[in-house]
Amino acid sequence: PHPPSPSKKELESLKSETQRAEKSFQTSLSLVRSISTEVSNLESVAKKAEMDMKTLETKKKKGSFGGKKKAKKEYEKAVEIANGEQRKVSDAREQLAAAERESDKAKKQMEECRHKFEQAELEAATAASYLSVQQSNNSSMTSAQTSDKGYSDPFGMGQPVPSNSSSADPYGMGGVMGGGGGDYANPFAM
């Protein structure tokens, strides 16, 4: 039994799903950058509107030569503008937060897709390797030498034991351990 392997079609499907997830993440990241820039610009405009409003507030308090009504109207208009800019900033920040959440979701999905795809590639490579080893083993088994003992000897290392060896010398030591005649006198022999 070989390890399970995803089909080529499954791999292609996972690959394209991963690419779509990556594009989605890049798009959402781009949107976050864009909204973030817009928030910064709106904050600058709101800050300027607030400063204008404070300038007109001091003018209104001083009330130059009969122009109190005019100063008050200018101040009220500046307050309205400043409040409007502040609402735009708040709306843009909400959009930014939503875009960041979507970007985080897209990133998580992209990472999951990548993991699935990498896992499938690993399974396919493992199965291919297993198959390759199995095929090479099958071809080497047919060409391997079989000894007279009935087991496979793929390296041809099994050497027949000479028939003239006695049971007293099973390792072919030539009677080194004593009792074999020869010139060697074993001091440990009994």
Residue 165 or residue 21, greater confidence: 21
What is the sign of the dihedral through the CA atoms of 41, 43, 47 and 53? Answer: positive
> H or E segment at 137?
helix 68-143
Picking from 155, 125, 118, the residue whose alpha carbon sits closest to that of residue 140 is 155
62 token code pair: 């001083």
Write out pLDDT tens, residues 135-190: 888 776 655 444 455 555 555 555 555 555 455 555 555 555 555 555 666 667 66
Q: Give 27's contacts (C-beta < 8 A, 6+ positions apart).
A: 106
- What distance lies between CA 142 and its chain's CA centroid? 43
Question: What is the chain's mean pLDDT, rounded?
Answer: 80
| 33 pLDDT above the threshold of 50 | yes
What is the sign of the dihedral through the CA atoms of 66, 70, 73 and 74? Answer: negative
CA distance 91 to 96: 9
**pTM of the predicted model as reported, rounded to 2 decimal places:** 0.58
Residue 52 or residue 181, greater confidence: 52
